[in-house]
Chains A and B, each alone.
Chain A
Amino acid sequence: NAGVTQTPKFQVLKTGQSMTLQCAQDMNHEYMSWYRQDPGMGLRLIHYSVGAGITDQGEVPNGYNVSRSTTEDFPLRLLSAAPSQTSVYFCASSYSVGQPQHFGDGTRLSIL
């Protein structure tokens, strides 16, 4: 049982490039979410999904898109990378809304 799998683990981008961070879970969880973690600020919610075909914005959605075409996958797209998006990104899932979440091991993203 792999849990929540994130790829890649590390990535360096140039300003203006786009990329997709992948997240997959094999626990049949309905709720999935993306966070970014910056020093001194804790984790902040970017986008979340309560089921396939349903997504919504969190606290810091600007510059990011998501989609949820299947229960298992919840990719996060950076449309035009900016240095302010340098961060550690975590994907998480839970069986249903309000339940404790399981986290992937993160993607460390640097934008030059």
Chain B
Amino acid sequence: RKEVEQDPGPFNVPEGATVAFNCTYSNSASQSFFWYRQDCRKEPKLLMSVYSSGNEDGRFTAQLNRASQYISLLIRDSKLSDSATYLCVVNRNFNKFYFGSGTKLNVKP
């Protein structure tokens, strides 16, 4: 079983839509959680960390459910520039990071 699993998509949404991605992780000892964004043929870039109480950064909201071992990302009022692949990342034993294979988002005019 993979450490981190994501729906690969693609999610095709119109501008202005709200879209949500989920990610599940297999190891309950995982300690910290992140969402990264990766544009085609570019490096991953940190979008936001995910905190137990949930957190928001502008149009982006992240939630963590430790009991069910999943992380979510909600994007409101989607922009064309949000088109990218979103990577869920889980940290375990502090030293090791496990990446999901990503969810592709296409925002269309």
User: Residues on A close to B: CB < 8 A?
Assistant: 31, 33, 35, 40-45, 48, 50, 56, 58-59, 90, 97-98, 100-106
User: Within residues 38 to 61 of chain B, which ones have a CB less than 8 A from any CB in chain A?
Assistant: 42-46, 49
**Distance (Å) between the CB of B81 and the closest chain A CB?**
19
Instruction: Given contact pairs A50-B95, A104-B43, enumerate 12 new A-B contacts (beta carbons under 8 Å).
Output: A40-B101, A42-B87, A42-B102, A43-B87, A44-B99, A45-B96, A48-B96, A98-B95, A100-B34, A103-B43, A105-B42, A105-B43
User: Residues on B close to A: CB < 8 A?
Assistant: 4, 8, 31-32, 34, 42-46, 49, 87, 91, 94-102
**Distance (Å) between the CB of A30 and the closest chain B CB?**
11
**Distance (Å) between the CB of B86 and the closest chain A CB?**
12
Please determine whether A42 and B94 come into contact, CB atoms closer than 8 angstroms.
no
**Distance (Å) between the CB of B53 and the closest chain A CB?**
18
Please determine whether B97 and A33 come into contact, CB atoms closer than 8 angstroms.
yes
User: A56 vs B102: C-alpha distance in the bound complex, in angstroms?
Assistant: 26
Chain B residues within 8 Å of A44, by CB: 99
Secondary structure at the B interface, as helix, strand, loop or mixed, is: strand
Chain A residues within 8 Å of B97, by CB: 33, 45, 101
Chain A residues within 8 Å of B46, by CB: 100-102
Can you name 6 A-B residue pairings with CB atoms under 8 Å? Answer: A45-B98, A50-B95, A100-B34, A100-B46, A103-B44, A104-B43
Chain B residues within 8 Å of A50, by CB: 95
Contact of B43 among A33, A45, A90 (CB under 8 A): A90
Chain B residues within 8 Å of A58, by CB: 96
Report the nearest A residue to B44, measured CB to CB. A103
User: A43 vs B31: C-alpha distance in the bound complex, in angstroms?
Assistant: 19
**Distance (Å) between the CB of A59 and the closest chain B CB?**
8
Please determine whether B101 and A48 come into contact, CB atoms closer than 8 angstroms.
no
**Distance (Å) between the CB of A65 and the closest chain B CB?**
18
User: A100 vs B44: C-alpha distance in the bound complex, in angstroms?
Assistant: 11
